[in-house]
Amino acid sequence: MPHIAVYAEDLGGLTSSTPSREMLRHLLHFRSQDLFTLVFCKDSEANEHLQDYLTTLSHLPNWQTYELPFSRRAYNALSLLGARFLPAIPVEADLYLRFDAGAMGRRNRPLINLVADLSALRQPRAASLKWHGRLLFRRALRDGAEIASRTVCISAFTASDVAEAFPQLASRLTVIRNGIADDWFEEVTTMKENSPPRPYFIWYGFVSARKNLPRLIAGYAAAADAFGPEFPHLALIAHGPDMRKEVLEPIEAYGVAQRVHVVAPQPLERLISFVSKARGLVFPSLYEGFGMPVVEAFARGLPVLTSRFSATAEIGSDLAEYCDPQSVSSIRDGLIRLASPKQLEPERVAARKAYARQFTAGSAARAYSTLIDEVLSRPSAA
């Protein structure tokens, strides 16, 4: 019975860690004969998202927890001071797994880690990480590149980006695409909610400069002006420290406060309901390692407008509408195409839903399980 240690601190993010949380839940089920130890820093009880997630695992018997004697803040401080290979996690396991770029100590091998994207390196001014976060990320990449037996990338685009930045990793990269929660494929229960006036387009996520919301709002204002009063409204389910600069000020500047509606983050069930009622998803990011909302919208049958650059062109395949995210006029034209009645033709809706079925948390977990078996069978690779 293999023993797998998971650095569970990486599962605590509000949005970015969602695919890993969903995948791990399925992995625990698939590998029911294995023992998983979820490793936390001593201040993890303050992370509500992490604690809520653990509650969803309570019915599964094959996991336990281990609390480290130091806090995440102390761990990060050591790294910022330049410490190489922070103290090893004192859990003896057959394999170590973390859903971030770093290592778990020099002796904690074999290791499988994950790189979602290199936005902090490729577009530092537009990334959500601050200077210290970018520095921590660089050092995590450095340590992980030296230690990991396999590094998982969530798209072929990210794998290509990582191979270019870290040539020594090229032969140890594995692409396992993100999977979305099973809930996205289920029927939506009718809910009373304060949804925007219909019809409406929707964008949702964590606000940062790389999400390109000022240009989206500018393109929307131009499209609504060209199309007329019947043009769908725009709902932004948005949160983050940059809300005023990236969302509220552009709405005011372009005079669309009556047509662009800012909505607070929603629980998953309500988010799915909001998305299901939308006329389409608009997601013209400057850089994405995957683009979860694209697949989630497809799962609900929605048309999607997204960027023709980075991973969204890969994930959107030939089913999405594309724009140049740096061109307001291109976003405007894409929004007008998205409003076409042809987008809602039954065969198009069915094709989107069928395509999304390949991006499930279960399929991601099966791919991880296969990779775990491969690494365990070749201990010399550690």
| 328-370 pLDDT per residue, tens | 999 999 999 999 999 999 999 999 999 999 999 999 999 999 9
256 and 157 inside one domain: no
Per the model's pLDDT, the better-predicted residue between 374 and 169 turns out to be 374
pLDDT recorded at residue 138: 81
pLDDT beyond 70 at 193? no
pLDDT recorded at residue 381: 45
245 and 152 inside one domain: no
pLDDT beyond 70 at 158? yes
Could you list the residue range(s) of the whole structural domain that residue 86 is in? 3-179+360-381
pLDDT recorded at residue 58: 93
Give whichever of 39-43, 124-128, 156-160 has the largest mean pLDDT: 156-160
41 and 157 inside one domain: yes
pLDDT recorded at residue 131: 60
Residue-averaged pLDDT of the chain: 91
CA dihedral 273, 176, 49, 356 (to 10 degrees): 0
- Mean pLDDT over 249-273 rounds to 96
CATH code for the domain of 32: 3.40.50.2000
Cα 334 from Cα 284, distance rounded (Å): 10
Q: What is the pTM of this model?
A: 0.93
pLDDT recorded at residue 297: 98
pLDDT beyond 80 at 159? yes
192 and 238 inside one domain: yes
Please name the residues in contact with 110: beta carbons below 8 A apart, sequence gap of 6 or more.
Answer: 95, 96, 149, 375, 376, 379, 381, 382
* Terminal CA-CA length for the chain: 19
- Contact between 150 and 376 (Cβ < 8 Å): no
pLDDT recorded at residue 382: 45
339 and 374 inside one domain: no
Tokens coding 99 = 């859903």
Look at the chain and report how many structural domains it folds into.
2
131 and 97 inside one domain: yes
138 and 278 inside one domain: no
298 and 364 inside one domain: no
